[in-house]
Structure formats: structure tokens, C-alpha cells
Amino acid sequence: MKAAAFDYVKPDTVDQVIALLQTHGDDARVLAGGQTLMATLNMRLSEPLMVIDITGIAALRGIERRGDVLRIGALATHTQIEESALVKQHAPLLTEAAPHIAHRAIRNSGTWGGSIAYADPAAEWPACLLALGGTVVVQGPRGERRIAADDFYLGLYTTALAPDEIVIAGEIPLARPGQWHGLSELARRHGDYAIVGLAASAQRQGAALSGVRLAFMGVATTPWRARRTEQLLEGKVPDAATQAMAVASLRAEIDPLPDLTNTPETKRHLAGVLLQRLLASAHA
């Protein structure tokens, strides 16, 4: 199908975007990589009167180290993150996750900010942001706000972003020596959204783990942290006994939503399999 007619503007600054959002309200949509928005327009799931193309705003580009965080601009593409030496050094979980996002032609256009803002519960970037304890930087008429990833995802495709705000960057604390991370996901075909996925991080204290964060994809209305199981793992060596205990805890804690082909029971089982695999890799 083809998109319905709309007006198109390509502002140069974030302030212009915010002014346009305030004037046009729900009749307007922000266009970044377009890899989700264009599909919904083509299928006429959405018929905005105005499309605001933000890809001309230089201030939203770039990946840089700022103090003790890695700041990734909203317009950094999935491919740029995949190939960035800075990301590999300071947030290697993202380097590992990037190839799981769709396919190359889509990664060349799709953006970090678009994925964070769209908030698909099965998408990689929101889960990674949560697993790494990241922060979403947004800008609106009242200036800039920083929102912890933990507080950003509120419900299905629903975030703490106000209608007249946009995501301008996402910040990740720099990986410290001894940081462990892992990503594992099951998809029907490489590049498809995860049926169930898990992004995890922790600090190594000798052979033990501390500060464990387990962020699951594809199980809830938002990316979801298994907090009880995280706590259970605190200070533990992830040996076979701990793995078994953690998997049992997770399966009791998790309450997955079904999708078209997988029941909650299947997803509960798969989540445990992924956790077991990642903990085994942390122990190796």
C-alpha cells in the first residue's frame, strides 16, 4: 500500500521541532530512520497530516565519550553503533546486540533514538539500555530532562516522553574493568524481532557477580527486568548450582505474554534457557 498524503518539513534545530510539535499536536509525526514509521504510513496504520524529518539536525548525530558516560546521539544509526570503536570499548554489549537488529539495509537507516522512543518490547536497544543502567536524554519546551531507562518505559509503546518532547541522546555508563555482559536471543530467523531475548550485565568480584541486571525482550509490554532473580544472584559465583537456582527463580518470577505462535509456557521455558546460557558464559 501507499502512504496517505501529508506535508513534510525538515527543520534544522531541535527548538523548531518542538515548536512544530506544539503547533500540530497529534497531527504530526517525527521521522528519524523511518524503518518503523514508514511501514506504518505505507500500511495506513497512521495518517498524520505532517511529517517532521529530524535527520537534518546535526546536534543529534555523533557518538562520544563525555566524562563517565558514552553519549550516543539520537540519530546514530544501528550500523554506526555496530561499527563504532568507541562503542566497542565502552559499551561492548551494544556492539554484540547490533547485528541482531533487522538486516543491513534497515540498520543503515534505523536510529538509536527512534528505537528507544518507539519502545518496542522486543527490540534490542531498549533492553540493552536497561541492562546497562543507561539514561534517556530528552528535550522539550521546558528544556532538557534526563530519565533513567528504568523509569522511561511505562507500557506497550508508551514512554515517559511528553508529546512535545523528543529523544536527543541516550547515555551509557562506561564499562568498568571487570564488567561482564551478555546477550542471547531466540528469533525465528536471524534479524527478526526476538521471541525471547536477554541482555545482561554485572560486575565481577573475583569469581562472583554483583550488580546483576537482567533485561528481557519479548516477554512483557515493556523491556522487563527480573529483579528478584537479580537480587538472588548478588554476590554469587555463577556455577552450575547457582545457574539452576537462578533459572528456577526466574521461571517463578516471570509472567510472559504470549505472541501469535508462542504460549506463555513456551516463553517461560525459553527465558530460563537463555538465562542458563548466559550465566554459564559468565562462569566460563
Partner 1 sequence: MADLHPLHVTVNGQAHRCSIAPRTHLVDFLREDLGLKGSHLGCEHGVCGACTVELNGQIVRGCLTLAVQADGGSVQTIEGLSQSGVIRDLQQAFVARNALQCGFCTSGMLMAAKELVETRPEATRAEVREWISGNYCRCTGYHAIVDAICDVLRQRKETQA
Contact positions vs ligand FAD (CB under 6 A): 29-37, 39, 74, 101-102, 106, 110-111, 113-115, 117-118, 120, 123-124, 166-167, 191-193
Q: What is the largest CA-CA distance in the chain?
A: 60
Positions that interact with partner 1 (CB under 8 A): 1-8, 10, 31, 34-35, 38-39, 41-43, 51, 53, 55, 79, 99, 102-106, 108-109, 189-191
Cell numbers that stand for 160 in this block? 515517559
C-alpha–C-alpha distance, residues 81 and 71, integer Å: 11
Distance in Å, CB of 228 to ligand FAD, minimum: 26
| CA–CA separation, 148 and 137 (whole Å) | 9
Residue 74 site contact among partner 1, ligand FAD, none (CB < 5 to 8 Å, cut-off depends on kind):
ligand FAD
> Among residues 36 and 203, whose Cβ is nearest to ligand FAD?
36
Question: Minimal distance in Å, beta carbon 56 to partner 1?
Answer: 10
Residue whose CB is less far from partner 1, 66 or 104 = 104
Distance (Å, whole) CA 126 – CA 136: 10
**CB nearer partner 1, residue 27 or residue 255:** 27
Give the Cα separation of 259 and 263 in Å (integer): 7
Q: 105: burial class by Cβ within 10 Å (0-12, 13-18, 19+)?
A: exposed
- Laid out side by side, the sheet with 135-140 consists of 63-66, 69-73, 166-173, 135-140, 143-148
Please, what is the minimum distance in Å from the beta carbon of residue 82 to partner 1? 11
Q: Which does 167 bind (CB under 5 to 8 A by kind): ligand FAD, partner 1, none?
A: ligand FAD
CB 8 to partner 1: min, Å: 3
